[in-house]
A and B are shown apart, each in its own frame.
Chain A
């Protein structure tokens, strides 16, 4: 049993003395979330820079094209901010707020999808040879698959970056913290992807893009849990 006097036990002092290099204090959650913005913006814009805005952006108008994506992007940053709070022992937000943010984010995605479809439901012809357009018309799952895999990969890159930033997270619920920044990554990617992707059917937007968001949430949760477990093993060694 340890000495109960306020003096640290020898074993602990040895461990502390072994590594006393100066460290830079972690930024506040808001500042941490804001630091993610440039990379999130860059990765979510890659597809947009590659193929340009969707052909029906004129029909949708700037509010539904850019405004809705900006709202999703802001929600993504808010989720990362909540994840940063969740990762701080003394700064956790009420559970209701955490779960409400996740529900609001889901509803916004669904709402924007349905609004986009109701405004521009027509099939889009891609600027590719007619034969390919015909194949895509007959087998729309190919486009769905491409969008799903593409945005999952882009989201995965962001999740990996976020998990690097959150590697020292002290979350009581590391899986939840991971799922939150995973959701932030997925939402940020979707914000850019939806401006480029010309397919507005709910089946495509929710099935393919939505699945990619779910995939990044799961990836974030797995990484968060494994980072938590890494700390857990340190704690369990003594047990």
Chain B
């Protein structure tokens, strides 16, 4: 069995950092009025943002609407972006914001839970993929506390640093690290229990 750790994936972090430089340049062009820059930003970020929204909305189909709303909000508020910020955390933070606003507006939090028939589409962590089937890992992540699951996925799946997660969630970097770490530990325990039950 592969060891499950809470260490960030270094190679991915470097990729993300280089990618974000490109995104910043695109964002500046977009603020200058370039439609092509918007399309490129969308192409780079939409899949990840959609998965994140799908995770927040627990797999509800509302994620597609929220994705569109996120990019619409980004367009309306494009002046609010400062080029000193990394683009990905800014857009993911905006997506979270849109999700929370929508939840408040429609009071559909309960409805989302009640109407949920399928498991969410959120991804399986590479760190955990040998501990169980994809379905089992999804189920276990779905049973983590929402705070832990969110920090865990933001760090391990989307490669955000704990400082970036802290800025998105309004918590300290240490708290972000603790949430992800506890989430990973709980996930490991849950998957090990499943394995023992299978054996």
Contacts and interface: CB of A to CB of B under 8 A. Distances in A.
B16 interface: no
B43 interface: yes
Contacts of A172: 93, 96-97, 100, 170
A103 to B, nearest CB: 17
Contacts of A232: 101, 104-105
Contacts of B108: 239
Contact of B105 (A7, A12, A168, A235): A235
Interface stretch (A16-24, A34-42, A104-112, A184-192): A16-24
Interface residues of B, number: 61
A96 B80 contact: no
Contact of B106 (A173, A231, A234, A236): A236
Interface in B72-113: 72-73, 75-86, 89-94, 96-98, 100-102, 104-106, 108
A131 interface: no
B45 to A, nearest CB: 9
Contact of A92 (B64, B79, B169): B169
A173 B171 CA distance: 13
A27 interface: yes
B32 interface: yes
Interface in A92-132: 92-96, 98
Contact of B168 (A1, A15, A90, A236): A90
A23 B75 contact: no
Contacts of B84: 28
Contacts of B78: 23
Main secondary structure of the interface of B (DSSP, over half): helix
Interface in B161-179: 164, 166-172, 175
A95 B170 contact: yes
B67 interface: yes
A28 to B, nearest CB: 5
Size category of the binding interface on chain A: 35 or more
Contacts of B171: 94-95
B94 A8 contact: no
Nearest to A174: B101
Contacts of B72: 12, 15, 234
A8 B85 contact: no
Interface pairs A-B: 3 shortest CB-CB: A89-B93, A236-B105, A23-B79
Given A89-B94, A168-B80, A171-B97, 17 more contacts: A2-B64, A6-B42, A6-B44, A8-B38, A8-B71, A12-B71, A16-B71, A22-B33, A25-B31, A25-B83, A87-B80, A92-B167, A168-B76, A170-B97, A235-B98, A238-B65, A239-B105
14 contacts: A1-B61, A9-B68, A13-B35, A23-B78, A26-B79, A27-B82, A89-B91, A89-B96, A92-B167, A92-B170, A94-B175, A98-B170, A232-B104, A236-B106
